[in-house]
Amino acid sequence: MLKISHVTRRFGDKIAVNDVTLDIPQGQMVGIIGRSGAGKSTLLRMINRLNDVSSGYIEFDGSKVSALKGQALRNWQRDCAMIFQQFNLVPRLDVITNVMLGRLNGRNPLLNLLQVFSADEQLEALKALERLDIAPTAMQWAQTLSGGQQQRVAIARALMQQPKMILADEPIASLDPRNAQIVMDSLRDINAEGITVITNLHTLDTARAYCERIIGMAQGKVVFDGTPGELTTYVARSIYGADGLKEAFSEAMTSTAIAPVQFLPRTPTNAQQAPDPAQNRTLRVTKGDPP
């Protein structure tokens, strides 16, 4: 369970995230939507501890993430893998080395400096690339790949961390429709194995197609927390505003031509299976909304 309690982040006089409280059970696929500047990226960066909270706290399985330091913090950033919009690969390293960089935390620093990896690590990296249908590029420089290929390499690198959670910050924002679908399919497949996936998305259709839970943010606050079916046009207006709603829908239809999927209930596979998400979800609507 990831627990975010009354978390606020200030940058000088600006409040980027304002008193956000969320409970996210293990194994959920969560999409966070909202206009640019709504606080989506800042929220993910606080979960991963790339940014510190200004007030409130974040916990995971009883450990206060927002207070971790030193090796404990590095261990958390290994368990909570981050995928960025701009991929963050090393352009002049080959693909397989970029993937193995996901294993840096916890290894001998000298081996990291010399970029020496074991045969088992190389095999695991190849398996991650094969899983994402990109193994033939293993020996190419990362800078020679297309944007969609680079994002799949970034996902493979995240898998090398053997994470408990994956955070994806606008992972398809710069991709063409076909590569966007491949990336989102990959994240959904990872989630089906029980790994929590939290992703920021700019388009409504993508969130509806792939995420079992959608969180809407506006001006740093959570204004909606519900299922795709509850994300009506009326509710979307409270997230994007009247002037931004048309843009959000038109981008969803033109930039990511992704067919909706039907969610099937997952059968619990072990004792750590999360409880029914509906028991941990509240629907937030703005004051004055009709019943």
Token readout for 73 is 């913090």
Tell me, yes or no, whether 262 lies in a domain. yes
C-alpha distance from residue 268 to each of 54, 150, 162, 222 (Å): 37, 33, 21, 29
CA 148 to centroid of chain Cα atoms = 16
> Cα dihedral sign for 182, 186, 192, 196?
negative
* 196-200/165-169 β-pairing: parallel
Token readout for 5 is 């309690």
How much is the pTM? 0.81
Tell me, yes or no, whether 289 lies in a domain. no
Q: Which residues, in sequence order, are CB contacts of 288 under 8 Å at separation 6+?
A: none
Amino acid at site 274: A
Q: How many domains does the chain have?
A: 1
Tell me, yes or no, whether 129 lies in a domain. yes
Model pLDDT, residue 231: 87
Q: What is the domain-level CATH number for residue 157? A: 3.40.50.300
Mean pLDDT by 10 residues, the chain (291 residues): 96 95 96 92 96 96 92 92 89 92 72 74 92 92 92 93 94 88 93 95 89 95 94 86 65 40 40 41 39 37
Token readout for 237 is 């207006």
User: Which residues span the domain enclosing 79?
Assistant: 2-280
Strands of the 29-33 sheet, one edge to the other: 80-83, 165-169, 196-200, 29-33, 213-218, 221-226
Model pLDDT, residue 28: 96
Tell me, yes or no, whether 287 lies in a domain. no
Query: Coil, helix or strand for 243?
Result: helix
Model pLDDT, residue 150: 93
Amino acid at site 171: P
